[in-house]
Amino acid sequence: MEKGIATRCIYGDGKKFGGDRTGAISFPIYQTATYAHPALGRDTGFSYSRLQNPTRQQLENVVASLEEGIDALAFSSGMAAITAMMELFRPGDHIIVDADLYGGSIRLFDNINTKNGLTFSHIDCSKEKVEDYITENTRAIYIETPTNPMMNVVDIRRMAQIAKANHLLLIVDNTFLSPYFQKPLTLGADIVIHSGTKFLGGHNDTLAGFVVTNSTEISERLRFLIKTVGSGLAPFDSWLILRGIKTLPLRMEKAQENAQAIVEFLQHQKGVEKVYYPGIEGTPGYEINRKQATGFGSMITFAVESSELAQHILASTELIPFAESLGGTETLLTYPCTQTHADVPKEKRLQNGITDCVLRLSAGIEDKKDLIADLKQAMESFYKR
């Protein structure tokens, strides 16, 4: 019988690791660069940690199991994962990417990959007709859903149909909902990306990234890449992410509950013009998100009436830090226009709705009354100045 996701967060596919005779419940950190060979032509399954390390392998098994892929590869950061994955393409290839993506991904595509001969069309995959942008050189569609930071929901099944019909790969960055709420490979995607730094690790204490696939061919090419480019995740960081994943279901549920309470508060708070959260009934993404995921997550973007108010909030919260990143135990407030999306050209940023009045909040797992009280005092003090 297929094990439930909370069980798989702890044990992965359930295969016991055979190499440790101590009975250690916490998977050991194999802090080694190299491995002795028993004899010429024989090995233990490990030869050098750039290729593979037992702690990293255990983590990769757990993540592959959660995403229902056949293979997952752990990299030193989300960007290292995406950079290695982009080596699947060659000069001349064209990729359709959603216009609203994590700023670092846009920076990679527009500066590094473009220099190496790839071309991109940045379009709104939640609204535009994707088929119209496919050329004979198109090789892939790259999306996030919900998108960072504007929370647009893209229909994964529809993108998969378009990709299949045109022999393209569908690549989904699943960082925002994590496999606890959404499993793109089961909806037709070919490759899933994660910034493991965020919900999977979950404690704002280390960086990691993943590429997951259900294709043996892609898995083999990625295995060649990870051993060649050398950006695999280190043993201790692998252990931190393994430990983080054990509580993924508890954290996702609690953070979502906090997010829903914060959304409700923001919707009635003076100075807030618009709240972007896929769990608000009647918003464009609500029904699609409900059909393709089991939750709405804990990321909220909201626009306030002026950039002065936005900056006042960032300066005035007493509990909630003003910091980049998301998906951890700590609630964080981010200012996308000067932080995560600062390198996205201004006109593109404004086109996506990322003005200097927009704030992004990642709900953590604190007591919701404390979070709401902090946001309330930060906003109300603006009008008492």
Ligand X SMILES: *Cc1c(COP(=O)(O)O)cnc(C)c1O
78 binds ligand X (CB under 6 A): yes
The answer to whether 211 and 78 are in contact (CB under 8 A) is: no
Catalytic residue list: 50, 102, 173, 198
With vertex at residue 368, the alpha carbon angle to CA 367 and CA 369, rounded to the nearest 5 degrees, is 95
CB of 197 to ligand X, least distance (A): 4
Give the footprint of ligand X on residues 212-251 (CB under 6 A): none
**Backbone φ, ψ for residue 248 (5° rounding):** -50, -50
The answer to whether 106 and 344 are in contact (CB under 8 A) is: yes
Q: Which two tokens stand for residue 72?
A: 């997952």
Q: Find the distance separating the first CA and the last CA of the chain, reported in whole Å.
A: 62
Instruction: DSSP letter for 330, please.
Output: S
Between 312 and 334, CB nearer to ligand X: 334
Stretch that binds ligand X, among 85-93, 192-200, 289-297, 303-311 (CB under 6 A): 192-200
Stretch that binds ligand X, among 101-109, 135-143, 283-291, 372-380 (CB under 6 A): 101-109
Counting residues that bind ligand X (by CB under 6 A) gives 15
| Residue where the block lists tokens 């893209």 | 154
Q: Which two tokens stand for residue 156?
A: 């994964």
144 binds ligand X (CB under 6 A): yes
Greatest pairwise CA separation for the chain in angstroms:
77
Between 110 and 264, CB nearer to ligand X: 110
CB of 343 to ligand X, least distance (A): 13
CB of 274 to ligand X, least distance (A): 21
C-beta nearest to ligand X: residue: 78
CB of 44 to ligand X, least distance (A): 31
Stretch that binds ligand X, among 48-56, 73-81, 83-91, 163-171 (CB under 6 A): 73-81
Give the footprint of ligand X on residues 148-167 (CB under 6 A): 148
Burial class (CB in 10 A: 0-12, 13-18, 19+), 347: exposed
Between 212 and 309, CB nearer to ligand X: 212
Burial class (CB in 10 A: 0-12, 13-18, 19+), 129: exposed
Beta-carbon count within 10 A of 291 CB = 12
79 binds ligand X (CB under 6 A): yes
Distances, alpha carbon 156 to alpha carbons 211, 216, 315, 346, 381, in Å: 17, 21, 38, 28, 42
Give the footprint of ligand X on residues 195-214 (CB under 6 A): 195, 197-198, 207, 209
| Residue where the block lists tokens 């960055």 | 173
Binding to ligand X by CB under 6 A, coded x per residue (else -) over 301-340, reads: ----------------------------------------
104 binds ligand X (CB under 6 A): yes
Binding site for ligand X (CB under 6 A): 77-79, 102, 104-105, 144, 148, 173, 175, 195, 197-198, 207, 209
